[in-house]
């Protein structure tokens, strides 16, 4: 079918490592014998994966960049030969604030979840509330913890093996077997309940962490309600004051450009097609949500504005049907600061509104780096990289064009210096622009990467940079 097939060693090694985690004791060796793919000793690149701890080691691996909230990984398994189903579950709360629950069916990553995840979530919330009340830590019924409270900072792997799996969803990555929900719910009730009863000290630490999450959630809700009431009185509407909305109201036709700074925001507002393009300027670098609890995140003005403009809500309250724009375009300068801003925004969307990425609603604008001002009546050309600039110059000069020496090549320092029409022509016009759709092929790998890049572990981040520095093609210093 394909003329050429180029295998990605990184993608293959990530998947094989995942399979080794899911099959305790299995050894998988991957060797890259292609020319030029050698290690520091000149030998073919080779990795060997074997995990005697299985999915417990998987949880430890995922939490290695986050820190642990309690010492031991909780793990248990069960099997029903009549139903032809078995399940393994491993879990541990980290010191962080992000939920990292991943489910598998017959070693297939069920990225859309399914019945096994529903059973796990329902039983988990019930058990934590039960022991919180028994230990006197949750005193009133109205203080009971929500699913979001319980799963804040939780890293968990739920792996089921089932005789006749029924996969649903567009990508067939959602488990539909009803017996899986009942089975998982029962073993979590039994096994996790036994663990809490046998480990009251660690159990109390977990419940207290969940109560802290609930306290932060309530504080964030009150802050949102206060903010909404003030905005309602002052503005008479719920949308952020700095949002330049579009005229059309059909979400599938509308686009939201998120831009950094008032200067770029002004150019974007002036250059856009106001019928279907909305502009939301944000001030500087937004909060790093990887290091922040939900109350601090939701009290941040820039985050509030973005969440309000999108309309979906976050976490358990997220509703894709309320999305106001079906194209969300992150438009930042083509330099290091711009890349950092995009990473911060992607971290927010991944951690709080992941279905936007999974559904293909998020895009990265690609503004040009260079403008070639050919002499005479020749139209200018825009280049998106050094290589493209050099190629255009060679082709142009070979074709008899003239490039003025003094100002023939303009390097854009930022979107704010572009005239509105030029920004439209190069970056916003649907007929000429270049957009990159953000996709999520492996949620586990993405979770790990965001934790390394945006988390607290400086040493892990330094190691990542050193390993990947050789692949950097453009660095604006």
Catalytically annotated residues: 260, 333, 335, 337
How far from the centroid of its chain's Cα atoms is residue 215's Cα? 25
Cα→Cα distances 183→128, 154, 212, Å: 19, 21, 31
Residue 160: partners with Cβ closer than 8 Å, 6 or more residues away: 85, 86, 87, 88, 103, 104, 105, 106, 116, 175, 180, 183, 184
Closest by CA position to 221, among listed 288, 138, 154, 297: 297
Q: How far apart are CA 53 and CA 22, in angstroms?
A: 10
The whole-angstrom separation of Cα 470 and Cα 477 is 16
Q: Which of 309, 218, 216 is nearest to 258 (CA)?
A: 309
In sequence order, what DSSP letters do the residues of 26-49 get, joined into one string? --EEEEE-STT-B-TTSSBEEEEE
What is the Rg, in whole angstroms, of the alpha carbon atoms belonging to the chain?
A: 25
Strand partners, 114: 175
- Tokens 């973005």 correspond to 306
In 308-466, DSSP assigns E strands to: 327-331, 362-365, 370-372, 381-383, 409-411, 435-437
Closest Cα partner for 55 from 20, 79, 84, 80? 20
- Residue 37 near residue 128, CB atoms below 8 Å: no
Q: How far apart are CA 79 and CA 431, in angstroms?
A: 56
Q: Which of 41, 18, 40 is nearest to 30 (CA)?
A: 18
- Residue 143: half-sphere exposure toward Cβ, Cα within 13 Å: 14
Q: Report the relative pairing of strands 154-162 and 85-93 from DSSP bridges.
A: antiparallel
Give how far the C-alpha of residue 202 lies from the chain's centroid of Cα atoms, to the nearest Å: 30
Given its phi and psi angles, is residue 378 left (phi above 0), alpha (psi -120 to 50 degrees) or beta?
beta
Q: Which residue intervals of 272-399 are DSSP H helices? A: 294-299, 301-310, 336-352, 354-358, 386-398
Q: Checking phi first, is residue 24 left (phi over 0); if not, alpha (psi -120 to 50) or beta?
A: beta
d(CA 60, CA 67): 10
Instruction: Report the candidate in 4, 62, 176 with the shortest Cα–Cα distance to residue 448.
Output: 62
């Amino acid at each position: 079918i394909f003329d050429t097939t180029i295998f990605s060693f990184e993608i293959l090694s990530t998947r094989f490592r995942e399979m080794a985690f899911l099959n305790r004791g299995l050894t998988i060796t991957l060797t890259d014998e292609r020319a030029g793919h050698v290690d520091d000793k000149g030998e073919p690149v080779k990795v060997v994966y074997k995990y005697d701890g299985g999915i417990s080691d998987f949880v430890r691996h995922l939490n290695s960049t986050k820190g642990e909230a309690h010492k031991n990984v909780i793990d248990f398994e069960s099997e029903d030969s009549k139903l032809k189903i078995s399940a393994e579950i491993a879990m541990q709360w980290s010191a962080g604030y992000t939920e990292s629950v991943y489910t598998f069916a017959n070693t297939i990553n069920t990225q859309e979840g399914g019945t096994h995840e529903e059973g796990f979530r329902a039983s988990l919330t019930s058990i934590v509330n039960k022991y919180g009340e028994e230990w006197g830590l949750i005193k009133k019924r109205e203080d009971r913890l929500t699913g979001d409270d319980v799963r804040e900072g939780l890293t968990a792997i739920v792996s089921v093996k089932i005789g006749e799996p029924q996969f649903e969803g567009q990508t067939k990555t959602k488990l539909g077997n009803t017996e899986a929900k009942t089975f998982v719910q029962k073993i979590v009730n039994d096994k996790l309940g036994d663990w809490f009863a046998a480990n009251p000290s660690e159990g109390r630490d977990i419940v207290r962490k969940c109560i802290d999450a609930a306290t932060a959630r309530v504080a964030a809700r009150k802050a949102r309600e206060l903010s909404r009431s003030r905005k309602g009185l002052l503005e008479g509407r719920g949308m952020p004051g700095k949002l330049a909305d579009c005229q059309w109201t059909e979400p599938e036709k509308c686009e939201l450009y998120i831009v950094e700074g008032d200067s770029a925001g002004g150019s974007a507002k002036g250059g856009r097609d106001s019928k279907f393009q909305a502009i939301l300027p944000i001030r500087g670098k937004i909060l790093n949500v990887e290091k922040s609890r939900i109350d601090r995140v939701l009290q941040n003005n820039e985050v509030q504005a973005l969440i309000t403009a999108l309309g979906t809500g976050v976490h358990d309250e997220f509703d894709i049907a309320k999305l106001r724009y079906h194209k969300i375009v992150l438009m930042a300068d083509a330099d290091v600061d711009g890349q950092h801003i995009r990473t911060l925004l992607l971290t927010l969307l991944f951690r709080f509104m992941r279905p936007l990425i999974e559904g293909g609603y998020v895009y990265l604008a690609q503004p040009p780096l260079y403008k070639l001002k050919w002499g005479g009546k020749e139209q200018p050309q825009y280049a998106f990289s050094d290589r493209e600039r050099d190629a255009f110059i060679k082709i142009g000069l070979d074709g008899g064009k003239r490039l003025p020496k003094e100002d023939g090549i303009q390097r854009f320092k930022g979107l704010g210096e572009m005239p509105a029409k030029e920004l439209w022509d190069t970056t916003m016009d649907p007929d000429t622009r270049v957009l990159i759709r953000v996709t999520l092929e492996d949620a586990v790998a993405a979770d790990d990467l965001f934790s390394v890049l945006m988390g607290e572990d400086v040493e892990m981040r330094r190691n990542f940079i050193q390993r990947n520095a050789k692949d950097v093609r453009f660095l604006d210093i």
